Amino acid sequence: MNFVIADTFTDSLKKLTAKEQNIIKTTAFDLQVNPKNTGHNSHRVDRVKDRNFWTHYANDGLRIITHNTDASLLLCYAGHHDDAYAWAERRRIDVHPETGAAALVELREKVVEVVRHKIVERAVERPRPLAKYDAAALLKFGVPQDWVSDVLAADEDELLTLLDKFPGETAELLLGLASGDAPQAPDAPAKAADPFQHPDAQRRFRTIISREDLELALDFPWDKWMVFLHPEQRKFVERNYNGPARVSGSAGTGKSIVAIHRAAHLARQNPDARVLLTTFSPVLANALKEKLRRLVGNEPKVMERIEVHAVNGIAGRLYKAQFGVPAKFVTHEALNALLQEASTTAASHKFSAAFIRAEWDHVIAAWDLSTWEEYKTHSRLGRKSKLPEERRAVLWTLFERVRAALAAEGRIAVSTMFHKLTLKYTEGADSPYDFILVDEAQDMGLSQLRFFGALAGRKANGLFFAGDIAQRIFQPAFSWATAGVDIRGRSRTLKVNYRTSHQIRQQADRLLEPEISDAEGQKERRDTTVSVFNGPPPGIQLFESEDAEIKFVAAWLKGLLEDGIPAQEIGVFVRSEKEIPRAELAVQGSGATAEILDESVEVITDRISIGTMHFAKGLEFRAVAVMACDENVIPSEERIRLIGDPTDLQEAYETERHLLYVACTRAREMLLVSGLEPGSEFIADMTE
């Protein structure tokens, strides 16, 4: 007999107290050991349509609902007595006649009050997005037979309510149809196919092989998109590539999850291989490591061959191994001081400090240019302003002074570390890794990409990237092909959003153009992405004073905490460190304590997280407040003022938009955006 666990079981388990969870887990372990021993503590649930539902006594108040057949025992729900019975009365296990996938389906007659079914009741006739399809077509897209007529009659608002009742893949396909997309209906499975092994069913049901499997699943209740891969995601996880590959997609489409699953897949398929999973910051690396542990923590031989590190950290280790000494880096502030000093002693010029620093970062350091001849003839890819030779000559005199000063101090730029390592591995040093997977790849610099290419770029399946060009906030756009990492023809886009509600995603997407292009000319449309669940609409509030904003946000945060949302599931973000005190006062007003995110923070604690929008990158929370979205704060007036080259203005505005987009899309369920009147110009874009 198969022992199977449904995502509805882990979802319900998370809503119980820690003590109640332990009681449920003990009962679940007993059921796994002897699933056929129903005993006096178990019995069939009465008054339900599906006669295979059973209830199991955990204690005087707690029950587990299972679905029992000769072939399997399925853990479905855990909760208090009345809630558990009510849950079973509203559902049945259904094998869809067209798709062949197993699903837990809500009974139409039990939720009929949610949707108005008679069109004549509408005061105003509203468009029905799916009315042009017939019943047979909707069945092929996975609509439960009981609900076909309701889907055909539903207007836009009613359709969103209905989709919450359907399996995820069905909701995604119907959203695509309603938005004008033309998704393909899934192929019917073979008649003998196990409905629980159908690719769609595997998104919500997992067969548990051992006690260790069950213990891992119950200790780490996974989000739906963590373990239950969408078939579209699974293709990228298991596909073989003859060169570097990339998966992209908007915030929440599961790019990181694909990278984690692919790391595990490569380690399983190649028992002697070493795998590196990396990203740009320690806090994100630790988040990836924790998710990987949840996925393969019960497979020690797989886990021990996958390393998870921030990219600068692993490069620092390899640098010491190759050169015998640790790299001594120049700080951002010290480099600014050296550039300023060199600028004042160079020949008369009109270059701004911001332009000089950008030229150093994106040309000199990025390409490790060490001679005048190299700089004179360099194409300066990604830099929009043209520089004739005589103006380059002036800049080179000050860059030479900076290089000499760094050499005298024995310090190097971070990019130099990557260049030196790239040269070592290009010349034949043995790479410690067979496969490298890079998350948040859009914020990797040119020197880092060249480093990855030298480590594993020549191997089949050697390099895999996950990222979103709309979330690029640290690096200017540049062609990956110029860095020796050519992903053309091996780049695909995910279009199903698992993390962010339809309402939040739709509001945040207004900050971006409908179509975005990268430096390779590859285009991504944002309006074809669909979310798999609904939530409350984001709140957007402007205030006359900081005190009024702080009090409102404090009350909002307090309400979340009183509703049972843990503090660590709440984030508050602002544009810069100058606005951090406003966020701190709001958290204090809610009665909670705050964790200020900075470079030293590697693990999110049990406090409300506060940080700048840059530190929001890659994180996620159930609820997020984005504060201080004032005029001249975002886009940053200070940043715009310092830009000396008008051609850089567009890049600055783009990354400022991306910053706000990143902050807003950290929210899974609830989002509040606030500021002082008249507010950021970007807020007007969000509310159009």
Is 284 found in the same domain as 241? yes
**Where residue 519 falls among pLDDT bands split at 50, 70, 90?**
low
Is 443 found in the same domain as 386? no
In this predicted structure, the answer to whether residue 225 has a pLDDT above a threshold of 50 is no
| DSSP-based three-state secondary structure for 320 | helix
Q: Is 77 part of any domain? A: no
Q: Is 527 part of any domain? A: no
Is 429 found in the same domain as 403? no
| Alpha carbon 363 to its chain's center | 31
Q: Structure tokens of 220? A: 């780490």
For the segment 629-669, what is each residue's pLDDT rounded down to a tens digit? 999 999 988 887 777 566 667 777 888 998 999 999 999 99
Task: Quote the CA–CA distance of 219 and 568 in Å, as a whole number.
Answer: 18
Structural domain including 399 reads: 338-409
Task: Give the residue from 386, 409, 432 where a domain finishes.
Answer: 409
Q: What total number of domains does the chain contain?
A: 3
Q: Is 583 part of any domain? A: yes
Q: What is the mean pLDDT of residues 449-469?
A: 91
Q: Is 44 part of any domain? A: no
Buried (b) or exposed (e) across 214-229, using 16+ Cβ within 10 A? Answer: bbbbbebbbbbbbbbb
Is 245 found in the same domain as 374? no
Is 297 found in the same domain as 244? yes
Say if CB 287 and CB 616 are below 8 A apart.
no
Is 568 found in the same domain as 607? yes
Among 186, 178, 97, 89, smallest CA distance to 144 is for 97
Q: Which of 112-121, 170-179, 431-440, 611-620 is the most confident on average?
A: 431-440
Is 457 found in the same domain as 308? yes
Among 616, 660, 657, 667, smallest CA distance to 504 is for 667
pLDDT value of position 583? 97
Is 435 found in the same domain as 577? no
Among 356, 377, 352, smallest CA distance to 365 is for 356
Q: Is 272 part of any domain? A: yes
Task: Give the residue from 354, 374, 409 where a domain finishes.
Answer: 409
For the segment 289-321, what is each residue's pLDDT rounded down to a tens digit? 988 987 887 789 999 999 999 999 999 999 999
Task: Give the residue from 441, 471, 493 where a domain finishes.
Answer: 493
Residue 518, judged by CB atoms within 10 A of its CB (0-12, 13-18, 19+), counts as buried
Q: Is 588 part of any domain? A: yes
Q: Is 201 part of any domain? A: no
CATH number assigned to the domain comprising residue 291: 3.40.50.300
Is 612 found in the same domain as 652? yes
Is 391 found in the same domain as 442? no
For the segment 245-297, what is each residue's pLDDT rounded down to a tens digit? 999 888 888 899 899 999 999 999 999 999 999 998 888 898 899 889 878 87
- 450: which residues sit within 8 A by CB, 6+ positions away? 418, 419, 422, 483, 484, 485
Measure the CA angle with vertex 257, ends 254 and 258; round to 5°: 90
In this predicted structure, the answer to whether residue 202 has a pLDDT above a threshold of 60 is yes
Is 391 found in the same domain as 309? no
Strand 2-6 with 205-208, pairing: antiparallel
Q: Is 626 part of any domain? A: yes
Is 300 found in the same domain as 446? yes
